[in-house]
Amino acid sequence: MSTRGDIMITSAPRSAVLHDIASRVADPEIPVLSIADLGILRKVTEDEHGTVVVTITPTYSGCPALDAISQDLVTEFSREGYEQVRVETVLSPAWTTDWMTEEGRAKLEEYGIAPPTGTGHRGPVTVGMSVKCPLCHSLRTRELARFGSTSCKALYACRDCLEPFDYFKVLA
């Protein structure tokens, strides 16, 4: 068994297959990210009765996408022939942007959302840190609104290209 951040991955082939199936599920609010990229996919196991148990941690406790993610997980496993699927939500430890993969951060930027800067649980967040524009890469940006299209994003604007963009806030 090995770990990747706070995610435990077993070397058993069956566990890897189950994890890969769950990793296909996209975040409904940011469809270019899988729930694995986002870091909310915590664990996938199969119990003694053959039920697939998927453990997820939402980005925050009131996340409206949680029901859609749970249904998408059941649908994805059903497509692969797994009839018994249970999705469990755990709130502790709380999700942090530290759990996002580097690939996920790159996908955010390519999609036009500035990835989180700084760290959550693993270190201090620098207040006043410049947020790089995902379009022209300028650091001459400013916050327009603390909350953007979702609670986990803020709305920024670039002073060079003049385009508005979402910034995925550092959450700890």
pTM, entire model: 0.76
Q: Which CATH architecture has domain 2-95?
A: 2-Layer Sandwich (3.30)
* Runs of H (alpha helix) within 80-118: 102-111
- Domain ranges in the chain are 2-95, 98-168
For the packed helices 66-79 and 13-23, what is the interaxial angle rounded to 10 degrees?
130
Residue 110 and residue 32 in contact, taking contact as beta carbons nearer than 8 Å: yes
- List, for residues 7-32, the tens digit of each pLDDT value: 544 445 678 899 999 999 999 999 99
Q: Measure the CA–CA gap between 40 and 108, rounded to whole angstroms.
A: 15
- List, for residues 93-140, the tens digit of each pLDDT value: 989 889 999 999 999 999 999 998 765 444 434 445 678 899 999 999
Sequence-ordered list of residues with C-beta below 8 angstroms from that of 17, at least 6 positions apart, any chain:
none
Give the other-Cβ count within 10 Å of 59's Cβ: 25
